[in-house]
Structure 1
């Protein structure tokens, strides 16, 4: 009987250890799911130069329902605007000008924007690109 007691104790430890591993695995799965949910409430902002040849900055930012491109840009970057906040003329000190024929152009999910930044509402998972380049 004395020889069985250590074996019984070892078996109990193994069973309780397996149960703990399952709890840890479940907690890890919950954290991964929560992390994925947070990503879905974000948009990605990418700043580039020369038709995307040079990446300046890339940021994943949280959004609230109904926020526009302009709302997010003003919150996350230093911007100057024109035409009643419809057009972004400068981002983080890089400003377009007529002499050099340069400007910021933007797209949402790969499609060039046909409206002003304050008119385009963002959705979870959108990718917004701002490219600083010459125009003709």
Structure 2
């Protein structure tokens, strides 16, 4: 009878150990699947990276650096709106002409103003009309206009 009881206990312990290992394996597999899904989702998010533009603020034809910022944009974003959202600016003429960026402005009677280029070329329209494109490099330079 003792031998029968010993075998029953031994079988019971083997079943418990196997059941515990089986649960652990399925938990590990579930954790591994979740990790794989997360990695796949991160991979697809990387593919859908944000589109950005680089905006640089300088003085005197780039001799003095004021600020630079990479800014996320969406299709159809207008430069003036992006500037207002990301920098301290002041405008006049119904918000179409920038007079101050980051508190840099012409003094009374000074013939200086903000000129901007996109990808190294002078813009043909004002900032209130320019539609940004991904990877544009915009430079606002505070300079004499004589």
Q: Secondary structure at the match of 2:82?
A: helix
Q: Secondary structure at the match of 1:71?
A: helix
For the 8 Å contact 1:78–1:91, the answer to whether it is kept is yes
Distance 1:28 1:92, change over 3 A: same
For residue 35 of structure 1, report the CA deviation from its aligned partner. 4.9
TM-score by length of 1: 0.71
For residue 96 of structure 1, report the CA deviation from its aligned partner. 2.0
Residues of 1 paired with 2:43 and 2:66: CA distance? 29
For residue 114 of structure 1, report the CA deviation from its aligned partner. 2.1
TM-score by length of 2: 0.66
Q: Cα RMSD (Å) of the superposition?
A: 3.4
Structure 2 segments unaligned to the other structure (5+ residues): 1-34
Larger Rg: 2
For the 8 Å contact 1:85–1:117, the answer to whether it is kept is no
Structure 1 partner of 2:130? 120
Distance 1:86 1:33, change over 3 A: same
Structure 1 partner of 2:139? 129
Structure 2 partner of 1:59? 69
For the 8 Å contact 1:96–1:104, the answer to whether it is kept is no
Q: Which moved more, 1:31-40 or 1:76-85?
A: 31-40
Residues of 2 paired with 1:63 and 1:104: CA distance? 22
Residues of 2 paired with 1:91 and 1:129: CA distance? 12
Q: Which moved more, 1:58-67 or 1:28-37?
A: 28-37
Residues of 2 paired with 1:87 and 1:33: CA distance? 41
Tell me which stretches of 4 or more aligned residues in structure 1 moved more than 4 Å. Answer: 27-37
Q: Within 5 A, what are the aligned runs for 1:1-136?
A: 34-35=45-46, 37-38=48-49, 40=51, 42-97=52-107, 99-136=109-146
Count of aligned positions: 135
Residues of 1 paired with 2:61 and 2:104: CA distance? 15
Residues of 2 paired with 1:33 and 1:75: CA distance? 28
